[in-house]
Amino acid sequence: VTNTSAPEEIDVLVIGSGAGGGVAALEIARSGRTVVLVEMGRVGGECHYVSCVPSKALLIAAREGVTWDEALRRRDEAADGRSDSAAVREHEKAGVQIVRGTARVTGDHDVAITFDEEGERVFRWAKALVLAPGSEPVIPRVPGLALEMTWTSEQALSSDELPSDLLVMGGGAVGCEMAQIYAAFGTQVTLVEKTDRLLAGEQPWVGELVAANLRASGVNVRAGVEATQVEHRENVRVEFSDNSRWSGDRVLLAGGRTPRTAGLGLELLGISLGDKNEIPVDARCHVMIENSPAEGVYAVGDVTATAPFTHTANAQARTVAGDLDGAGRDVQLHASPRVVYTEATVWCVGLTEQKAREARLQPRSASIDLSQVERGTLEGFKGRFELIADEHGTAIGAAAVGSGADSWATSAQLAVQFGLHVERLGDTLFAFPTLAEAVGLAARELAASG
Ligand SMILES: Cc1cc2nc3c(=O)[nH]c(=O)nc-3n(C[C@H](O)[C@H](O)[C@H](O)COP(=O)(O)OP(=O)(O)OC[C@H]3O[C@@H](n4cnc5c(N)ncnc54)[C@H](O)[C@@H]3O)c2cc1C
């Protein structure tokens, strides 16, 4: 593609319109700057159409016991039928100029956008470039695996097919949620995870409890095994590292995600990617180039591999807008919650004990079974809450598993965010009889043992 016309001059160019870039564009446009938002797919990014929102719609439908057809209807309604016209309207109303196409950096301040194979526009930004291209699924290297025959979460959450036998590869948040959904609608689900437990980044008991819950929902959970060979015939046959086999009609790849950086031309800006293939950033989301924050170049969202969630991408986007206004504050990500919306929700925040030890802290923890609080007994809820403190008694992390944990456990998040001493958290009054009493009980137990 050749382009001879002069670049179009603007203040800010944002690549990617998801939870990171879309929100950054809206926030920056408030200040009256000219903002161009480039999107090669759907305006609004993944969360609304093919990840968070449709998966939660299906999980809620599964809990309510509706039919598969009704669940699909609700999923598609929640995702606006995967039409981005509402998101386009919202951005245009805020004064953001949307340009559809694929962006690539072509110079210090220049970005070329290609569209319809032949067309190209070049923009020259004066004030800021925001890189927000998101992430993509990691594709495992298994001999015989044919990608056109397998699903990623995106395809699963867009398809109407209800497989009779499904193999989910990967026991992280996405794998657990997808296994929960399909098992609820009658699919025979096998979930394999190559490490020795599900949700391997959390406190060990969390993954064990989730595995037990998934088994109770009919999922065949197999930790410590991985696929070594795949054969696609009239069905799919998979061989595992322990020589066992599986055959069925679908394989869903849920082995994690990696920043989407290929083809962006980042090398022209001198950006070197980090160990996780991420664009390295400082606390104001400036891209780090040779250990210094680059003037006017920012990155937000999954591409920064800090905490791959919508709420973190949103927070980073607000930080960029604040920084450009000159009154910004650093983004605080140490208390970004990690939630898995399985039956018995998982809600974790801050450090695990292992991460705390890696940071040379001496963690202590107190764990409360939900049957120890009156509401848990009254409702027959199963689950647990655990609070983690450092050697000084400061709250540094928490983990909860149980119905509604993403609501009742969240007071621990403020304690971690603001470094509250467990004694003060324990002095806080939690209403009787609520599950939140488990937070107070754990805090008092930790305070007493310190
Ligand atoms: C199944 C699943 C469930 C999830 N559930 C939750 C949840 O419940 N809660 C939660 O907080 N998080 C959840 N997440 C994570 C969440 O979806 C992501 O953290 C979030 O969407 C990241 O936003 P982003 O802006 O970084 O990327 P995206 O939303 O992916 O946006 C990036 C956009 O950039 C565009 N793009 C990329 N490169 C270019 C280019 N060169 N030119 C033009 N456009 C480009 C892409 O088309 C894309 O639209 C889930 C993820 C998955 C996979």
DSSP E strand stretches across 260-414: 286-289, 292-299, 338-340, 345-350, 364-369, 384-389, 395-402
Burial tier of 228 (Cβ tally within 10 Å: 0-12, 13-18, 19+): middle
Q: Does the Cβ of 278 fall within 6 Å of ligand 1?
A: no
Q: Return the best residue to mutate from 14, 38, 52 for the ligand 1 pocket (most ligand atoms within 8 A of CB).
A: 52
Residue 157 CA, closest ligand 1 atom number: 1
Q: Measure the CA–CA gap between 89 and 48, rounded to whole angstroms.
A: 15
Ligand 1 geometric centre to CA of 364 (Å): 35
Q: How many CB atoms lie within 10 A of CB 450?
A: 14
Q: Measure the CA–CA gap between 260 and 130, rounded to whole angstroms.
A: 14
Beta bridge mates, 96 = 35
- Intervals of the chain under pLDDT 70: 1-4
Burial tier of 193 (Cβ tally within 10 Å: 0-12, 13-18, 19+): buried
Query: What was the pLDDT predicted at 148?
Result: 84
Q: What are phi and psi of 157, to 5 degrees?
A: -85, 0
Task: Report pTM.
Answer: 0.97
Nearest CA, atom 9, ligand 1 = 52
Checking DSSP bridges between strand 110-115 and strand 227-232, what pairing results, if any?
A: unpaired
Ligand 1 geometric centre to CA of 338 (Å): 16
Q: Does the Cβ of 103 fall within 6 Å of ligand 1?
A: yes
Closest CA relative to residue 298, chosen from 306, 286, 288: 286
Place of tokens 């590869």: 169
Closest CA relative to residue 143, chosen from 232, 234, 242, 246: 232
Peptide bond into 363 cis (omega under 30): no
Q: Could you read off the pLDDT of 48-59 as tens digits, one per residue?
A: 999 999 999 999
Query: What was the pLDDT predicted at 267?
Result: 97
Ligand 1 geometric centre to CA of 189 (Å): 26
Q: What are phi and psi of 273, to 5 degrees?
A: -75, 155
Contact 425, 412 (CB under 8 A): yes
Q: Does the Cβ of 261 fall within 6 Å of ligand 1?
A: no
Query: What was the pLDDT predicted at 3?
Result: 56
Residue 38 CA, closest ligand 1 atom number: 43
Place of tokens 């995702």: 79
Q: What are phi and psi of 84, to 5 degrees?
A: -95, 15
Residue 113 CA, closest ligand 1 atom number: 42
Q: Does the Cβ of 39 fall within 6 Å of ligand 1?
A: yes
Q: Measure the CA–CA gap between 295 and 272, rounded to whole angstroms.
A: 16
